């Protein structure tokens, strides 16, 4: 159940039906650091991640996503491989099992790229066994 206890911002997203939920954002080389548009609620399980690189990022660029700014416990740089276009389906790294708290996803694009664009999608199921 989403608790939305401050300082979780953005708010956790949870529908009451038993269905797969997702959080989606498009990013470009100019973003640097970014925050996904919704948090994932406490008790949810991240089932999959997708990094769709529509325009390859310049050489030396990397993209990571973590549960803390600058972290990579959700998507590691080697798993996103943003210097080549295409769909990447990274393992959800070190976050296995139900989330202990509402979790904001923070992303970082490093390496000073001059080009690149991607869409990130995180699929999860909330703890609504009911």
pLDDT along the chain (130 residues), means of 10: 59 79 96 94 92 96 95 92 95 75 95 97 88
pLDDT score recorded for residue 16: 76
* Four-residue CA torsion sign, 97, 73, 28, 90: negative
Entry pTM:
0.86
* Preceding omega of 10 cis (within 30 degrees of 0): yes
pLDDT score recorded for residue 61: 96
pLDDT score recorded for residue 2: 53
27 CB-contact burial (10 Å; exposed 0-12 / middle 13-18 / buried 19+)? buried
pLDDT score recorded for residue 18: 85
Phi, psi of 52, deg, nearest 5: -100, 105
pLDDT score recorded for residue 94: 62
Token code pair at residue 83:
């210097």
């Amino acid at each position: 159940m989403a608790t939305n206890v401050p300082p979780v911002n953005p708010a956790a997203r949870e529908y009451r039906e038993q269905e797969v939920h997702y959080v989606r954002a498009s990013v470009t080389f100019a973003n640097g650091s970014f925050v996904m548009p919704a948090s994932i609620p406490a008790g949810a399980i991240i089932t999959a991640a997708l990094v769709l690189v529509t325009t390859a990022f310049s050489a030396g660029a990397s993209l990571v996503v973590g549960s803390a700014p600058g972290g990579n416990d959700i998507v590691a740089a080697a798993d996103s491989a943003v210097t080549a276009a295409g769909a990447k389906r990274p393992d959800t790294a070190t976050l296995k099992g139900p989330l202990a708290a509402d979790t904001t996803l923070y992303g970082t694009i490093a390496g000073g790229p001059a080009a690149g664009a991607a869409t990130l999608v995180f699929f999860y199921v909330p703890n609504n066994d009911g």
